[in-house]
Amino acid sequence: MRILIQGRNLTQYLAKCHEALRTGLRRTYDARCFGPGYPGYRPRFLVRDFPAMVRHVFPDGVPPDLVIADSQYHLADPAFSYAGLRKLGGTRTCVIGDYWSIKGATRDRFVDIVQEEGLAAVIAYFPGARAHFADTAIAGRIAWLPPCFDPQIFNDWRVAKRWDVGFLAAGTADPMPTVYPERIAIHQQLLRQGEFSYLWAKHPGWRERRLAHALVGKGFAQAIGSCRIFITTCGVHRHPQPKLFEALASGPLVMSDEPEGAAELGLVDGRTYVRIDPSDVMDKIRHYLSHPEELLRIAAAGHALAIERHSCYARAKDLPAALRGLPPQGP
């Protein structure tokens, strides 16, 4: 399968899941990226629209089977960056993450553009996007493709277990009560206790980083792996967050509230992760720290689940099935 992926290189961005998906696609299919930061990129005055982009990226004249366009849905006008998308053959799509930001007039505009450009699918990281667009004309075009991780970044790097518990997340030291009320409650309990060591830190900030940061990329994976137990949560939307899979891959026992779609993701309480909420998290931490054989068993199963089913390579193989069965795209 030939794939054109349009958008800027996100290798240096804090959230590694976006570039991870592209990495998996590039190493599984004949997928090629076009955008600032990628080899072969040409500025807009040289490549003015999608047909010109296809000619530039696929000079042999064989067009892509799939186009993943960079949606600007998070801006006031969610139009695509280049004109002429609807002129392309094959399957036309885009990827969205924070679907809840697409609301009001912006949502109406986004729905119109998806129809105008004849997109066969809107690939969504989170299953909640299906309900968010359920009352619109594109309801049948939402394809759930969960976030993934690059195992060259997130893996069990066998670092020393220096901490009993870790909780590194937005919404702990910087409270976000409307999005992550459970994180504040858990963090405060962990700060008050004196029974076990606790790794936490301020969020490093949502921006690109060209220099290494201790809690970004592989350094983040190693920090997670330095904990016997690592906590993450889903927030008010109950999302299977990228960090959930990154934490599973990094080797600790992962504790989390239950995300939407847990069964489909292979998340089984007591087998691949441990389900918690603010009312029982402390008791469950005490239990598993005092039963290390159970802790290690669940951690190993969670790691195996992540590598087998949620790496960027596994997710690339999931893509055709996610797109299968959707209604035909417009002309």
Q: Measuring CA to CA, which residue among 63, 97, 145, 154 is closest to residue 317?
A: 145
Confidence class for position 330, pLDDT limits 50, 70, 90 = very low
- Please give the pLDDT value at position 327: 59
**In the chain, what is the straight-line distance between the N-terminal and C-terminal CA atoms, in Å?**
21
> Structure tokens of 144?
């759930």
- Please give the pLDDT value at position 110: 95
Return the exposure string of 34-55: e unless at least 16 CB atoms fall within 10 Å of the residue's CB, then b: bbeebeebeeeeebeebbbbbe
pLDDT over 90 at 326, yes or no: no
β-strand pairing of 253-256 with 227-231: parallel
| Ordered domains of the chain (ranges, CATH) | 2-148+312-323 (3.40.50), 163-309 (3.40.50.2000)
Give the angle subtended at the CA of 181 by the CAs of 202 and 98, to the nearest 5°. 80
CA distances from 113 to 32, 48, 94, 148, 230 (A): 24, 19, 11, 27, 41
Report the alpha-carbon distance of residue 152 to residue 141 in Å, rounded.
32
Q: Enter the DSSP assignment of 330.
A: P
- Contacts of residue 179, defined as CB under 8 A and 6 or more positions apart, other chains included, come to 171, 235, 236
**Stretch 34-59: mean pLDDT:** 97
> Which helix (H) or strand (E) is 91 found in, with range?
strand 91-96
**Stretch 135-144: mean pLDDT:** 96
- Please give the pLDDT value at position 165: 98
> Structure tokens of 149?
């991780």
**Stretch 230-234: mean pLDDT:** 98
Q: What does R_g of the chain's alpha carbons equal in angstroms?
A: 21
Lowest mean pLDDT among 80-89, 162-171, 205-214, 307-316: 205-214
pLDDT over 90 at 72, yes or no: no
Adjacent-strand bridge partners of 247 = none
pLDDT over 60 at 57, yes or no: yes
Confidence class for position 328, pLDDT limits 50, 70, 90 = low
Mean pLDDT of the chain: 95
Report the alpha-carbon distance of residue 230 to residue 251 in Å, rounded.
9
- Please give the pLDDT value at position 71: 82
Contact of 173 with 179, CB cutoff 8 Å: no
Assessment of whether the complete model's pTM goes beyond 0.75: yes
> Structure tokens of 83?
């004109």
Return the exposure string of 225-242: e unless at least 16 CB atoms fall within 10 Å of the residue's CB, then b: bbbbbbbbbbbebbbbbb
- Please give the pLDDT value at position 229: 98
pLDDT over 50 at 331, yes or no: no
